[in-house]
Amino acid sequence: MSKKRSDLPINLNLNVRGLAPSATLAINEYCNKLKAEGTKVYKFGLGQSPFPVPKSVVESLKKNAHEKDYLPVKGLLDLRIAVSEFLNKTQKLESNPEDVLISPGSKELIFILQLVYYGDLIIPTPSWVSYYPQAYIIGRHVHWIPTSAEDGYKLSPEKLNEICEKDPDRPRVVILNYPSNPTGCTYKLENLKELAQVARKYKVILISDEIYGLLHHHAQHVSIARFYPEGTVISTGLSKWCGAGGWRLGTFIFPKNLHWLRDAMAIVASETYTSTSAPIQYAAITAFKGSPEIDKYLEDSRLVLRTIAKRIRQILIDENIKVPQVNGGFYMFPDFSFYKEKLANRGIVSSAGMCKAILHETGVAMLPGTDFGHKDDELLARIAYVNFDGAKALKNAHLIHETYDGANIFLNKCAKDVLDGILALTKWFKKL
Ligand SMILES: Cc1ncc(COP(=O)(O)O)c(C=O)c1O
């Protein structure tokens, strides 16, 4: 008699055993469950773009729905041309279509790079939730570099140098992500130049995760590839600026001398996902080629995001909750340590415990600082201010005058749930 599936021995790879599913996906599922039970939930947990995919890109997908063939593993040539031209235009680079690798999401590429390249991973605290688990699954050493809120949670070149000089020839991968998930902070030109110098000195492979680059609130994103071209791999995709996370399209752009790395990654791709969905790749050409419609879409997205960020950050600051300047994307990373004693009086001594209590008592869902590499007793959490109707917000972006009244009128009309959620949060702290 054949064995039932449940009788089979559970013999998971030790590096996967005990790992929980990605924190962002888990909180989303939990919020949906609470909502289905009738609880009012303010979903600041999952970092998903609230904006619809631009019309011309949707039309392009419809037009290409019949495309059914497997495409080249590195990606459709016309798309690789569009990505390369897009980067050359926006970042003044000199890339070629051969430098581009297309995948079903940049997350997959970040994983495969770590799989094929034997090196330690260096990331700042806080960092995006998936870098560490990916390295852990593969079995890489991870160095977290502490940062400070006062310094906008930026990776310091001195601290990077300190780690590298201990063993100068050791192979290393550094991931820099800006505008940052979870903080919304970014780097100034001089910071990038200093980091580039250290990266060059120790020949590190630098993944510059610029998935939120086009959502810099003032359209001032600059790639570190300008200062360390020979060692920087730019990571981007459609998920954030184009509102198409579920379409799954990401891209890496390699310098010439890292084509061996691109080729090694393409081998793994060919033996795993084969190629990225054909209709999505055709539609992505329209997105990366750009148009006046897409320019306007981006301009309005930035205006909406910076208006919401500015207003809610001020509400938090007014209640002694520290939030560094937010420059891009749709996250902020408040520090609630002002309330440490009052929280402790209620038996709350960890960021996870704090987020749990807040979710149960107010319906406000946030991700605790521990998910981003912080210690349990640091009272930090990430707010993804995306629980609003993005289509309605874009339609009403013209209402925004960048004054207190303009912002308030806009928020009350188009992002009431964000405002109410932040007010529910501050009310909870005031009542402690
Ligand atoms: C910082 C960062 N990098 C990479 C990704 C992965 O994006 P995707 O796989 O959708 O391209 C995300 C998604 O949330 C992110 O926030």
Alpha-carbon distance of 201 to 212, in angstroms, equals 27
Together in a domain, 114 and 238: yes
Together in a domain, 273 and 305: no
The amino acid present at 160, given as its one-letter code, is L
Test site for ligand 1: of 49, 53, 107, 180, most ligand atoms within 8 A of the Cβ: 107
Q: Model confidence over 208-217: pLDDT tens digits?
A: 999 999 999 9
Task: Check which CATH number belongs to the domain holding 241 and give it.
Answer: 3.40.640.10
Domain extent for 394: 23-52+293-430
Together in a domain, 371 and 265: no
Asked whether residue 195 is assigned to any structural domain, the reply reads yes
Q: Which atom of ligand 1 is nearest to the CA of 177?
A: 1
Compute how many other C-beta atoms are within 10 angstroms of the C-beta atom of residue 49. Answer: 23
Checking if the pLDDT of 5 tops 60, the result is: no
Give the 3-state secondary structure of residue 347.
coil
Asked whether residue 9 is assigned to any structural domain, the reply reads no
Asked whether residue 1 is assigned to any structural domain, the reply reads no
pLDDT of residue 327: 97
Mean pLDDT of the chain: 94
Together in a domain, 76 and 33: no
| Eight-state DSSP code of residue 220 | -
**Using 50, 70 and 90 to split pLDDT, how confident is the model at 46?**
confident
Write down the H helix ranges in 139-171. 157-165
pLDDT of residue 249: 98
CA angle 353, 358, 364 (to 5 degrees): 130
Compute how many other C-beta atoms are within 10 angstroms of the C-beta atom of residue 283. Answer: 28
Together in a domain, 365 and 246: no
Written as one string, the DSSP assignment of 232-256 is EEEEEESTTTTS-GGG--EEEE--G
H/E element, 138: helix 131-138
Asked whether residue 7 is assigned to any structural domain, the reply reads no
Checking if the pLDDT of 305 tops 90, the result is: yes
| CB-based contact 182:147 (threshold 8 Å) | no
Test site for ligand 1: of 28, 221, 240, most ligand atoms within 8 A of the Cβ: 240
Together in a domain, 96 and 243: yes
250 lines ligand 1 (CB under 6 A): yes
Q: Model confidence over 358-390: pLDDT tens digits?
A: 998 999 999 999 999 999 999 999 999 999 999
Together in a domain, 194 and 266: yes
Q: Which of 109-113, 248-252, 397-401, 414-418 has the lowest mean pLDDT?
A: 397-401
Question: Ligand 1 centre and the CA of 284: distance in Å?
Answer: 17
**Which among 263, 290, 317 is the end of a domain?**
290
Q: What tokens were used for 313?
A: 């950050």
The amino acid present at 33, given as its one-letter code, is K
- Partnered with residue 308 across adjacent β-strands are none
Asked whether residue 321 is assigned to any structural domain, the reply reads yes
Alpha-carbon distance of 106 to 118, in angstroms, equals 19
**Averaged pLDDT, 277-302:** 98
Asked whether residue 13 is assigned to any structural domain, the reply reads no
Exposure of 127 in the CB half-sphere (CA atoms within 13 A) = 24
pLDDT of residue 20: 67
Exposure of 180 in the CB half-sphere (CA atoms within 13 A) = 28
Together in a domain, 131 and 203: yes
Alpha-carbon distance of 148 to 209, in angstroms, equals 20
Question: Ligand 1 centre and the CA of 188: distance in Å?
Answer: 22
Alpha-carbon distance of 284 to 79, in angstroms, equals 7
Give the 3-state secondary structure of residue 364.
strand
Q: Which atom of ligand 1 is nearest to the CA of 108?
A: 9
**Which among 228, 256, 290 is the end of a domain?**
290
pLDDT of residue 29: 76
Q: Which atom of ligand 1 is nearest to the CA of 47?
A: 14
Question: Ligand 1 centre and the CA of 249: distance in Å?
Answer: 10
- Partnered with residue 380 across adjacent β-strands are 335
Together in a domain, 397 and 374: yes
**Which among 290, 320, 339 is the end of a domain?**
290
Together in a domain, 103 and 163: yes
**Using 50, 70 and 90 to split pLDDT, how confident is the model at 408?**
confident
Together in a domain, 271 and 400: no
Sequence-ordered list of residues with C-beta below 8 angstroms from that of 300, at least 6 positions apart, any chain: 394, 397
Q: Which atom of ligand 1 is nearest to the CA of 248?
A: 10
Q: What tokens were used for 54?
A: 């631009």
Compute how many other C-beta atoms are within 10 angstroms of the C-beta atom of residue 141. Answer: 12
Task: Check which CATH number belongs to the domain holding 370 and give it.
Answer: 3.90.1150.10
Asked whether residue 207 is assigned to any structural domain, the reply reads yes
Number of folded domains in the chain?
2
**Averaged pLDDT, 184-197:** 97
Phi, psi of 237 (to 5 degrees): 170, -170
Alpha-carbon distance of 139 to 76, in angstroms, equals 32
Question: Ligand 1 centre and the CA of 118: distance in Å?
Answer: 22
H helix count then E strand count, the chain: 15, 12
Together in a domain, 331 and 235: no
pLDDT of residue 25: 67
The amino acid present at 262, given as its one-letter code, is R
Q: What does pTM read for this prediction? A: 0.94
Percent of the chain, pLDDT > 90? 86
pLDDT of residue 403: 79
Asked whether residue 60 is assigned to any structural domain, the reply reads yes
pLDDT of residue 115: 97
pLDDT of residue 13: 73
Question: Which residue, by CA, sits nearest to atom 14 of ligand 1?
Answer: 47
Phi, psi of 173 (to 5 degrees): -115, 125
Among 271, 229, 261, 272, which residue's Cα sits nearest to residue 92?
229
Alpha-carbon distance of 81 to 97, in angstroms, equals 5
Question: Ligand 1 centre and the CA of 408: distance in Å?
Answer: 30
